[in-house]
Amino acid sequence: MADHKPHTSHEEHLREQHLMLDPMPRGKMNEMVMESMHTTSWKFWLVFGLLSALVAYALFYKWGVMILEGLGVAGVNRPSYWGIFLVNTVFWIGISHAGTFISAILRVFKAEFRRPFTRAAELMTTFGLIQAGFSIFMHMGRVWLSYWLMPIPNERQLWPNFHSPLSWDLLAITTYLLSSTMYLFLPLIPDLAMARDRTPDGTWQKVFYRVLALGFRGTEGEWTHLRNALNIFAFAIIPVMFSVHTIVSWDFAMATRPGWNSTIFGPYFVIGALHSGMGAVVMVLAVVRGTMKNMKYFIRPEHFEAIGKLMLIISMSWAYFFFNDYIVQWYGGDKWTKELLHWHEAGPMGWMWFGMLICNVAIPWAILWNKKWRSTPWLIFIVGLLINVGMWFERYIIVPISLTINRMPFTWRLYQPGIEVWLGIGTLAFFILLYMAASRLIPLIPVWEVQEGQMAHSLRKYGRETVVTVSELE
């Protein structure tokens, strides 16, 4: 980017700031994106190798051990029957919400700043859901029979029990995983075609892109069908997204347990999911911007600034829902709920409760209000990280810490994580590994969408003021 000069005109300043006003020839842009995929240093492969080893050990080997020996190698017990498995499931499903939020809601509301990072966010959705799936299957005592939960009958025509929130969960997560994968793939097709066109014959990448691009050329018909489909997806996937985390919350809210049996859990979980999801998006964007070639062009402080604003709003909403949940429970005066709230705050894991509030509310509010601070990639990366820590704490408080307290005080017992720590690290490593692999294989920047956006943006003078104008092209 150009150097800052005191006499730089306002127009130039705007172009510098906004990707949409800083157009570049399509061919050049394609080249930058292809370059970003193919410029791979030894550091990348080192990290990639380490993560592969970690995934092989922490996820697959340890899981194998757990399958063979039983869940006794984990820390789950009576009464904390669920433990970190469900914490991670909820956490990863939460992460997956950011992709949909950015690419669907912001698309519907035509928030133009979304354009360069919709794909990065959608990848998080799909990869996050894969980890959520791992986590929930790990949690099962007899995972080899997990197909019994699918809507297929046994030989006596006994189908799964649709009274069970877990059955709803299965339907919702399956729907969401399939939808978000399709929603990731559809806008990817033109970019895969682009990559196909720029990949020399005779390489395996050529075959890869050829197959995945499905023969897309960009004819009028193809674009029309694609645009129509994307519009339908953008609208339809929003309720699916809301339903997924609401249903996840119902796994808890439907139970006759103190602290869980709360009507506000649905929206509270959804907003929490967005909170952690947005935090994860800024982390990913900061890393992508910092480590991949040419990304400083596509991902600019303006994007962090815009996401930062969203994060602030979501953090406030989370605080609102949290307080709503808290005060109703507190005021109710139920004996067991009171014990539970006391346990949250003053129990041996009380530090986590306060940590959650600091990470989810205090720090975001303290930093994100300032435009300059929230535009600073490393700072907002830290905020995103802390929000994710805080949201993980929140789920940890909801699952194993709340499970400690029930209506039978004789059984109350602390939960000490066992092998599930490894498994959780395994899912995190697998998520990063998938992301790294994807960054080498598919264009992380939806080039055609950026081009489309740049086409629509222009500067216009109103009197002395130069302003950005966006035209409706679709």
Partner 1 sequence: MAEEKALLAVFSDIDPAADAIEQLRILGVHDDCMNVISGIPVTEAMLGRPSQWTNVPRLALGGAIAGFLVGLFLAFITPNMYTIMVGGQPFTPVPPAVIVLFEMTMLGMLISTFVGVFLDSLFPNYRPMHYVPEISDGKIAILIECPPPDAQKITDVLKKLGAESVKEAEAQHL
Partner 2 sequence: MSKQISRRDFLKLATAGAATTAVLTGCGPTSRFVDREPYRKMPEYTYNGISTYYATTCRECAAACGLVVRTMQGRAIKVEGNPNNPVNLGKTCARGQATLQGLYNPDRVENPVKQARGAQLSQETLDWNAATQIVADALTNTNPSEIAFLMGMAPDHLFDLVSDLAKAIGAPAPIRFGALGMFEARATLSKAAEDLFGSASMPFFDLENADVVVSFGANFLETWLSPVAFTRGFARMRRGNPERRGYFVQFEPRMSQTASKADAWIPLRPGTENLVALALGRLIAEAKGGAIPAAFASVDPVAAAAEADVIFETLERLAQTLTNAGRPLVIPGGAALGQSNGLATAEAVLALNALLGNFGLPGGVFISPLAPAQDAYHRPASAKEMTDFIAKMKSGGVKVLFVHGVNPLFELPKQLGFAEALAAVPQVISFATFPDETALASDYIFPDHHGLESWGYQRAVVSAKPVLSGAQPVVVPYFNTRATADVFLAAAALTGGTLAQAMPFADEVAFIQSKLTKLVGEEGFFAAPEINSFTAYFQQYGGWWTLDPSLATPSAANAIAKRFNASAAEFAGEGEFFFLPFVSPTLGEAGANKPWLQELADPTTTVMWNTWVEMNPATAHELGIENDDVIEIVSEAGSVEAPVYLYPAIRPDVIAMPFGQGHTAYGRFAAGRGVNPADVLGVHFNEAGDLAFAGMKVTVKKTGKIKVLSRLESRIGVYGEGLEKE
Partner 3 sequence: MTVDLNKLHAVGAIAEEAEGKWGMVIDMDLCTGCQACVAACAMENNIPYVEEVDAGYGRSMHWIRTERFWEGEYPEVKMSAYQPMLCQQCGKAPCEPVCPAFATVHSQAEQINLQVYNRCVGTRYCANNCPYQVRSFNWRDYQDSRVRPEITILANQFNPDVTVRRRGVMEKCTFCIQRIHKAQDKAKSEGREVEDGEFTTACAQACPANAITFGRIDHPESLVAQLARSPRAAHHLEELGTLPRVTYLKEG
Kindly list the residues in this chain that would bind partner 3 in the complex (CB under 8 A). Answer: 69-72, 76-82, 139-143, 145-146, 148-149, 158, 160-161, 163-167, 170, 251, 254-257, 403, 406-411, 413, 416
Regarding 410 and contact with partner 2 (CB under 8 A), the answer is yes
d(CA 187, CA 444): 12
Instruction: Give the residue with the Cβ less far from partner 3, 79 or 267.
Output: 79
Contact 229, 205 (CB under 8 A): no
* H or E stretch at 328: helix 301-332
Instruction: Give the residue with the Cβ less far from partner 3, 32 or 255.
Output: 255
Contact 132, 432 (CB under 8 A): no
Q: Which residues contact 132 (CB under 8 A, 6 or more apart)?
A: 88, 89, 92, 93, 96, 173
Q: b/e string for 61-96 if b means 16 or more Cβ within 10 A?
A: ebbeebbeeebebbbbbebbbbbbbbbbbbbbbbbb
Regarding 412 and contact with partner 2 (CB under 8 A), the answer is yes
Cα 406 to Cα 69, 219, 348, 411: the distances in Å are 28, 62, 17, 8
Regarding 336 and contact with partner 2 (CB under 8 A), the answer is no
Residue 343 partner contact from partner 1, partner 3, partner 2, none using kind-dependent CB cut-offs of 5 to 8 Å:
partner 2
Regarding 344 and contact with partner 2 (CB under 8 A), the answer is no
Least distance from partner 2 to the Cβ atom of residue 94, Å: 28
Regarding 416 and contact with partner 2 (CB under 8 A), the answer is no
Q: Token digits for 1? A: 């980017």
Choice from 28, 263, 348, 371 touching partner 2 (CB under 8 A): 348
Regarding 343 and contact with partner 2 (CB under 8 A), the answer is yes
Least distance from partner 1 to the Cβ atom of residue 114, Å: 16
Contact 350, 320 (CB under 8 A): no
Instruction: Give the residue with the Cβ less far from partner 1, 279 or 446.
Output: 446
Instruction: Give the residue with the Cβ less far from partner 2, 28 or 413.
Output: 413
Instruction: Of 303, 295, 267, 321, give the one whose Cα is nearest residue 384.
Output: 303
Binding site residues, partner 1, CB under 8 A: 25-27, 30, 151, 153, 156-159, 161-163, 167-168, 171-172, 174-175, 178-179, 182-183, 185-186, 190, 193-194, 196-198, 210-211, 213-229, 232-233, 236-237, 239-240, 243, 247, 448, 451-452, 455, 473-474
Regarding 339 and contact with partner 2 (CB under 8 A), the answer is yes
Choice from 203, 263, 370, 411 touching partner 2 (CB under 8 A): 411
Instruction: Give the residue with the Cβ less far from partner 3, 163 or 372.
Output: 163
Regarding 347 and contact with partner 2 (CB under 8 A), the answer is yes
Instruction: Of 205, 377, 197, give the one whose Cα is nearest residue 289.
Output: 377
197-236 mask for partner 2 (x: CB under 8 A)?
----------------------------------------
Instruction: Give the residue with the Cβ less far from partner 1, 134 or 183.
Output: 183
Contact 178, 129 (CB under 8 A): no
Using left for φ > 0, alpha for ψ between -120 and 50, and beta otherwise, residue 45 falls in alpha
Instruction: Give the residue with the Cβ less far from partner 3, 178 or 408.
Output: 408
d(CA 345, CA 324): 17
Instruction: Give the residue with the Cβ less far from partner 1, 68 or 158.
Output: 158
For the chain, how long is the longest CA-to-CA vector?
81
List, as one string, the DSSP characters of 410-429: GG-------THHHHHHHHHH
Q: Name the residues that contact partner 2, by CB under 8 A.
A: 339, 342-343, 346-348, 404, 408-414
